[in-house]
Copies of this chain bind each other. A is one copy, B any other.
Amino acid sequence: MTEFLDLTEAVRKHLNPGNVVAAEGFTHLIPHAAGLEIIRQEIRHLTLVRMTPDIIYDQLIGMGCADKLVFSWGGNPGVGSLYRLREALEQGIPHALELEEHAHAAMANAYAAGAARMPFAIFKGYRGTSYPDVNPHIRFLDCPFTGQKVTAVPALRPDVAIIHAQRADREGNVWLRGIVGVQKEAVLASARSIVTVEEVVDRVDETKGGTVIPRWAVSAVCPVPLGAFPSYAEGYYSRSNAFYLRWAEVSRDYDRFREWMDRFVMGTRDFGHYLLALKEHGYV
Give the interface of A toward B (CB within 8 A): 116-120, 122-124, 137, 139, 141, 143-146, 148, 150, 152, 154, 206-210
Cβ contact within 8 Å between B137 and A145: yes
Inter-chain CA distance A120–B116, complex, in Å, is 16
For this chain, the copies found in one complex come to 2
28 A–B contacts from the bound complex (CB under 8 Å): A116-B123, A117-B124, A118-B122, A118-B123, A118-B150, A119-B143, A119-B145, A119-B146, A119-B148, A119-B150, A120-B122, A120-B144, A120-B146, A120-B150, A122-B122, A137-B145, A139-B144, A139-B145, A141-B141, A141-B144, A143-B152, A144-B152, A145-B152, A145-B154, A146-B154, A206-B209, A209-B209, A209-B210
Inter-chain CA distance A210–B209, complex, in Å, is 7
Inter-chain CA distance A90–B141, complex, in Å, is 40
CB contacts (< 8 Å) of A123 on chain B: these are 116, 118
Inter-chain CA distance A35–B137, complex, in Å, is 47
- Nearest B residue to A140 via CB reads B144
Inter-chain CA distance A27–B146, complex, in Å, is 33
CB contacts (< 8 Å) of A206 on chain B: these are 209
CB contacts (< 8 Å) of A141 on chain B: these are 141, 144
CB contacts (< 8 Å) of A117 on chain B: these are 124
CB contacts (< 8 Å) of A120 on chain B: these are 122, 143-146, 150
Among all A-B residue pairs, the 10 with the closest Cβ atoms = A119-B143, A209-B209, A139-B144, A119-B148, A119-B146, A145-B154, A120-B143, A144-B152, A208-B208, A208-B209
